[in-house]
Structure 1
Amino acid sequence: MELETIPGVGEKTARSLATLEDPERALKSGDVAALAKAPGITQGRAARIARGAIRREHDDPGGFLATERAREIYREVLSLCKERTVTEYGAQRLETIYPSPCRSRIEEVQTFAREAIERDPDPAVLEALEGVEPLADTGDVQVRGRCLATTDAERYTAARESIPELSVEVVEDAQGLAELARGYSTVIAIDEAFAGVTVDGDVQVRPDALENPAEIVPERSIAFFAHNRDSLQAAIAVHRSADLETDCDLAALEAGLARVNDDGTVAGDDELDRLATAVDDLEAAVGAAESVANDHLRQAIREQDVTIEGSDLLSLVEQGAGVDSLLSRELADEYARAVEAAREHLIDALDLDAGEAELARRTFGDEPTFPVERDEDTVTRLREELTATRERRETRLKRDLAADLADQRATAENLVRNALELDVELAIARFARDFECTMPEFVGGSAGSADLANANGSAGGRGFEIDGGRSPLLSEPLEAIEPVDYGVSGVALLSGVNSGGKTSTLDLVAGVVVLAHMGLPVPADRVRLERFESLHYHAKTQGTLDAGAFESTVRQFADLADGGAGSLVLVDELESITEPGASAKIIAGILEALSENGATAVFVSHLAGEIREMAIYDVSVDGIEAVGLVDGELEVNRSPIKDHLARSTPELIVEKLADESDAVFYDRLLEKFS
């Protein structure tokens, strides 16, 4: 795939996307999370790039939403779907679903949506989804207790590039290895020349190290699972709650994750925990052991009478003996007991094994001294021994754990990806349920195969037909919305009283058409429509336009009249652009042109009668009829009546007054409306 051929992708972005493991798959599937891993690509940018790739794949020219109001409708219905996602990924992924005139794209999303609306938005699944996030790379992992050793400068450079997690040292011979072994718990010699060399310390000769970096640095694999553990565990919960099929061994993955701490260290090994605790507590344990010995000696000195003959004292003084020598003869046994107590305390406090205990015993010498003091060299050696033993065991455990987890990375990534995609499906399912949606049917040789035969006055495959439509754009609860039936083939005027629902009807039609061309379910009992090339929705203009704005508006309709075949045109009270008399003539002319070029159009107007008289053909006029006034409030039939010019609010008021009074005046006024 030539990345720069994608709309909106330049050379710099293409280079960034090329760093991904499989950019083509991510682009084709709309995998926003994968695309967002590319350097400098945010999730929002990733969604736009995915849309561009989808348009290119389906040869979609774009521009279906031809006016600002049409784009507003799209943003509003998309927002209703996004509100029903749990994850940020789900919301961004929905951004890749857009209204398209292309049959292949509509059918592609319809296939996805039909499966989605069968999903059950179980609360347990939605709760589990809250913890799922796209998997993230951990970046560089630094390992300090291990190093690579080589005598070759070229191997040095290759090692730095292949295994950046470890320090790489240059040595000249086996003596250099021995010196490294005193500073590192493990030294890995990567030159064949070191085979057979024996030095003190943990020195491994691995000429194949650069070909098997995961064995040398198991932290690389483990870090991925440690960093993403919460998301992986949440994805496991999602699959179990939703009973999703997966090729991932959930129990094995769960067991592996239980062996990883958040910092990438190995969890659940008692021996490793013992060694780690011993290293951490060594200083405190040695200090406590000193206190045990000295407390014992102080108590012994307080309680024991020491008698020294004069000749003995003189002899000791002449020999230059100090207090320790004077006490050693009388308190030798007590000193031995004190030191033994200190040694046992140190061994017990650190839970040392036999070999470690032998070294620990040398922390306190047999030669009497007061106060009793540690041998710092012995403490240092004990610390080094415990640290090296801990690191060797941890490395071995990490290697075993990394081997267990390495084969699960691909399936774990799919596990999270599928959980995130489930969020998208459940959002569509929730939208469909909340607004009692159904899948629309495209007709008339477009994205479907049926005909829109004479429904609501339509003829073979043109226009739209909505049964029981409930606009999701209304702020009222669904149960309070009166269902609307409306269909148009060709061009129609929509008349009706103020506040009778004409604009809401246009919004319903626009919302249904946008959702249908997105491939999504629509809020109605049944919808049949043609596959439109574009949607032009012109909202109501506030006030009369000046000459320049009026000219611009007329030019827009001129372009539409010339190239609007297959378009749906919705216009709300265009007459407000200029004087009523001129407006009727202009609208009549626009309707004539749209009818001639095969567009479908609905124009809301209070001048429907005047426009019909101006037109050179029989314009269809539909009406949202007010059936009367009840306590001063209009009672309206929200579904437009075909071929019916709706009565105005003033006519209804005059009719009400005429019914309530015998005055001839009201009757004469009422006759003017006939």
Structure 2
Amino acid sequence: MDLESIPGVGEKTARALSELDDPERALRTGDVAAIATAPGISQGRAARIARGAIRLDHDDPGGFLATDRAREVYRAVLGLLKERTVTDYAAQRLETIYPSPRRSRIAEVQTFAREAIEREPDPEVRDALEGVEPLREPGDVRVRERCLATTDAERYSEAAAAIPELSVEVVEDAQGLAELARGYSTVIALDESFAGVTVEGDVQVRPDALENPAEVVPERPLAFFARNRDRLQAAVEVHRAADLEPACDLDALEDGLSRLAEDGTVAGDDELDRLTTAVDDLDAAASAAESAANDRLRDAIREQDVTIEGSDLLSLVERGAGVDSLLSRELADEYAAAVEAAREHLIDALDLDPGEAEIARRAFGDEPTFPVERDEDAVGRLREELTAAKERRAGRLKRELAADLADQRAGARQLVRDALELDVELAVARFARDFECTMPEFVDPDEVGSAGGDTVGFAIEGGRSPLLDEPLAAIDPVDYDVAGVALLSGVNSGGKTSTLDLVASVVVLAHMGLPVPAENVRLRRFDDLHYHAKTQGTLDAGAFESTVREFADLAEGGEGSLVLVDELESITEPGASAKIIAGILEALEENGATAVFVSHLADEIREMADFDVTVDGIEAVGLVDGELEVNRSPVKDHLARSTPELIVEKLADEARDGVATNGGAAVTDEGEPEPVFYDRLLEKFD
């Protein structure tokens, strides 16, 4: 796939996308999470890029939503789907599903949707999805206690590029290697020429190090898992709750994650914890041991009666001896006990093993002094020994854990991807259940539609508009089918606009490849949807001209279009409107478009059109307590009565029954009501 051929992708974005592991797969499948990992691409932009790539893949020209109202309907139904997602990813992923006229694209999404609506939205799965997010790259990982060494400049550049986590040093010989070993815990020599060289310190000769970076820098894979630990654990929970087939061994992944701390270090190893604590607590423990020894010795001196003869005191003074000599002579046992207590305190406080304890004992010498002072050199040697042991232990554990997790990386990525995609599926499943949806059936235009005739438009059975702000149970189901061009008449507030919204919603969702809110739907594939909402007030001359031009363009190339228009007569005077609408309908009929025009001038338009216009009607069956009682499903080939006619008819009936208070009926000798004012008004509607 030529990345720059994707709509909205320029040279800079194409370079960013090319850095993905498999950009073509991500773009073709609409993997928003993967696309968003490209440098400088947000999740929202990733969705737009994915949509462009999908259009390119299906040779989709775009523009299916040809008017503002059509786009509003799409955003509304898309919003209803997005409301049913848990993750931000799923909401963005749904942005890649758009209405298309292309058979291949519709079929592709339908395959996904048919599987999705079989999913059972489980609250436990929804809860688990709360913690799932797209995986993050760990960013720069730097390891300062290890380095790479080489004698070759070219090898230096190769190493720096392959393992940027470590410093790379150039050395000339074994002496240079030895100097590095004094500054780093571990030196990894890349040149075979160093094999057999004996150098003090941890020096490893690894000519193959660049081929196995995870062994040299286990922090690299560990950083990935550490940064994404919570997300991976949530994805594991989703797979278990939803009984999904996992892309990796869930138990092995969980075991590896349980051994990994948030900072990328190994967790749960008692020996490493002991060494880490010993290094951290060494200074404090040495000070405490020193204080304990001095307290004990001070108490011993305070309790001890020391007698020194004059000749002895003179001898000590002449030799320049001080308290140390006095201690050695008079309090040797007490001093030895105090020092031994200090050594044991240090060993116990740091939980040292026998080898470490031997070094620790040297921190307090046998020569009597007061106060007792630790040997800083000995403490430093103990620190070096503990630190080296800790690093060796940590390194080995990191390598083991990295080896366990390295093979899980691809599976872990797929695990999260599948969990996120499940959220998309469950959103579709919830939408389908909430609105009692079904998968629509597309038919070829040359087949005979359920309404009869030579063309197929749409046929909806038991449809409920998802755009109505009412509980589903409170919405009356609507049956409506149109083949060709039709006028839709009906009473005010009878549901004509809601019927257009239902048709638009069904057509948009069907062309998205998704289930539609109806019991059954058959329709043709439309090239585009032109939905014109009711205008507010009469348009000025310029706006009127623009509207007529738009319909002129549509009339010339409207074959394959669905045109929905709500009360176009409001654009100008009623007499002129009827003529204009009749002319538009004639052009659409000639071009084979499917159209529904809602109008209160249906009778006048029918009179002016030069073909037999179908007029359907949403019929009010009467007034109940001042409220219209309406049959929401349009009646085919029926001009619906207006609200004023129903009201006048009601008044006439009341007058005949002697209920009317104004224009009361005169009654003949035979008891029959005479024609009254209301009857004369009713005659005008005939």
TMscore range, shorter length: over 0.9
Following the alignment from structure 2 to structure 1, what is the Cα–Cα distance between the partners of residues 415 and 386?
40
CA distance in 2, matches of 1:599, 1:314: 128
Structure 1 residues 520-669: aligned runs within 5 Å: 520-662=514-656, 663=665, 664-669=676-681
CA distance in 2, matches of 1:358, 1:316: 35
Q: Is the 8 A contact 1:624 1:640 kept in 2?
A: yes
The alpha-carbon deviation at position 154 of structure 1 amounts to 2.5
CA distance in structure 2 between the aligned counterparts of 1:152 and 1:327, rounded to whole angstroms: 62
The verdict on how the C-alpha distance between 1:309 and 1:461 changes in structure 2, with shifts beyond 3 A counting, is farther
Q: Is the 8 A contact 1:135 1:413 kept in 2?
A: yes
Counterpart Cα distance in 2 of 1:152 and 1:524? 73
Q: Which moved more, 1:153-162 or 1:198-207?
A: 153-162
Kindly indicate whether residue 383 of structure 2 is the aligned counterpart of residue 383 of structure 1. Answer: yes
Letter of the aligned partner of 2:127 in structure 1? E
1:33 matches 2:27: no
- Partners of 2:516 and 2:80 lie apart in 1 by 12
2:363 aligned counterpart, secondary structure: coil
1:606-627: CA deviations, max 9, x gaps? 1111111111111111111111
Q: Match of 2:331, SS?
A: helix
Segments of structure 2 that go 5 or more residues without pairing to the other structure are: 657-664, 666-675
**Quick one: which amino acid aligns to residue 566 of structure 2?**
D
1:419 alignment partner in structure 2? 419
Distance 2:35 2:247 in 1: 23
Cα distance in 2 for residues equivalent to 1:444 and 1:145: 70
The question of whether the paired residues in 2 share the 8 Å contact of 1:452 and 1:529 is answered with no
Superposed structure 1 runs of 4+ greater than 3 Å apart? none
Contact 1:85 1:427 in 2 (8 A): yes
Per-residue deviation, residues 191-228 of structure 1 (Å, max 9, x unmatched): 22211111211111112222221111111111111111
Match of 2:501 among 501, 507, 510: 507
Amino acid at match of 1:516: A
Q: d(CA) in 1 for partners of 2:217 and 2:77?
A: 50
Q: Which residue of 1 aligns with 2:662?
A: none
Distance in 2 (CA, whole Å) between partners of 1:145 and 1:270 is 22
CA distance in 2, matches of 1:416, 1:282: 43
Residue equivalent to 1:670: 682
d(CA) in 1 for partners of 2:183 and 2:295? 37
Counterpart code for 1:489: A
Residues 89-128 of structure 1: pairs in structure 2 closer than 5 A: 89-128=89-128
What is the DSSP-based 3-state SS (H/G/I as helix, E as strand, rest coil) of the residue aligned with 1:661?
Answer: helix
Matched, 1:272 2:272: yes
Tell me, in whole angstroms, the C-alpha distance in 1 between the residues paired with 2:62 and 2:133.
31
Q: What is residue 338 of structure 2 aligned with on the other side? A: 338
Within 2, Cα distance between the matches of 1:163 and 1:473?
A: 56
Deviations 1:622-650 (A, max 9, x none): 11111111121111111111111111111
Determine the structure 1 residue equivalent to 2:479: 485
Q: Which amino acid aligns with 1:259?
A: R
Match of 1:17 in 2: 17
CA shift for structure 1 position 155: 2.3
Q: Equivalent residue for 2:180?
A: 180
**2: CA distance between counterparts of 1:452 and 1:596?**
18
The DSSP-based 3-state class of the residue aligned with 1:527 is: strand
Report matched runs for 1:358-397 at 5 Å.
358-397=358-397
Letter in 1 for 2:683: E
Distance 1:445 1:103 in 2: 13
User: 1:461-504 deviations in whole A, cap 9, x for unaligned?
Assistant: 51101000011111101111111111111111111111111111
Q: Contact 1:101/1:531 (CA < 8 Å) preserved in 2? A: yes
TM-fit CA distance, 1:406 = 1.0
Structure 1 residue 172: Cα displacement? 2.8
Aligned-partner SS, 2:71: helix
* 8 Å contact from structure 2 (residues 327, 335) kept in 1: no
Residue 174 of structure 1: how far off its partner (Å): 2.1
Alpha-carbon shift at residue 445 of structure 1 (Å): 5.3
Deviation at 1:460, TM superposition (A): 4.8
> Corresponding residue for 1:441?
441
Q: Secondary structure at the match of 1:485?
A: strand
Q: Which residue of 2 aligns with 1:86?
A: 86
Per-residue deviation at 1:403? 1.1
Separation of aligned partners in 1, 2:39 and 2:452: 53
Distance in 2 between residues matched to 1:458 and 1:417, nearest whole Å: 47
Cα distance in 2, alignment partners of residues 26 and 572 from structure 1? 41
Alignment of 1:224-373 (within 5 A): 224-373=224-373
Name whichever of 554-563 and 251-260 sits farther off.
Answer: 251-260
Residues in 1 aligned to 2:66 and 2:199: alpha-carbon distance in whole angstroms? 78
Asked whether the equivalents of residues 445 and 456 of structure 2 are also in contact (C-alpha less than 8 Å), the reply is: no
Task: Specify the SS of the correspondent of 1:16.
Answer: helix
More displaced, 479-488 or 659-668?
659-668
Shift of residue 452 of structure 1? Answer: 4.7
Match of 2:402 in 1: 402
1:518 — aligned with what? 512
Is the 2:86–2:130 Cα contact (8 Å) retained in structure 1?
A: yes
Find the aligned partners of 2:466 and 2:354 in 1 and give their Cα distance. 76
Please give the secondary structure, in 2, of the residue aligned with 1:560.
helix
Which residue identity does 2:7 align to in structure 1? P
Q: Give the aligned residue type for 1:539.
A: A
Task: Please list the CA deviations of residues 236-270 of structure 1 after superposition, one character each: whole Å capped at 9, or x if unmatched.
Answer: 11111111112411111111111111110011211
Letter in 1 for 2:473: E
Amino acid at match of 1:492: A
RMSD, aligned CA: 1.2
Could you tell me how far 1:232 is from its partner in structure 2? Answer: 0.9
Q: Provide the secondary structure at the position in 1 that maps to 2:365.
A: coil
Q: Following the alignment from structure 1 to structure 2, what is the Cα–Cα distance between the partners of residues 178 and 299?
A: 50
Find the aligned partners of 1:408 and 1:470 in 2 and give their Cα distance. 47
Deviations 1:298-336 (A, max 9, x none): 111121111111111111011101122222211111111
Name the % identity: 82
Is contact 1:439-1:520 (8 Å) kept?
A: yes
Normalised TM-score (structure 2):
0.96
What is the alpha-carbon distance in structure 2 between the residues aligned to residue 395 and residue 452 of structure 1? Answer: 74
Whichever residue aligns with residue 518 of structure 2, its letter is A
Cα separation, 2, equivalents of 1:573 and 1:221: 64
Question: Does the CA contact (< 8 Å) of 2:93 and 2:424 recur in 1?
Answer: yes
State the alpha-carbon separation in 2 of the partners of residues 375 and 165 from structure 1.
Answer: 37
Contact 1:149 1:168 in 2 (8 A): yes
How far, CA to CA, are the matches of 2:454 and 2:312 in structure 1?
A: 131
Q: Does 1:137 align with 2:137?
A: yes
Aligned length: 668
SS at match of 1:180: helix
User: Corresponding residue for 2:70?
Assistant: 70
**Rounded Cα–Cα distance in structure 2 between residues aligned with 1:461 and 1:352:** 90
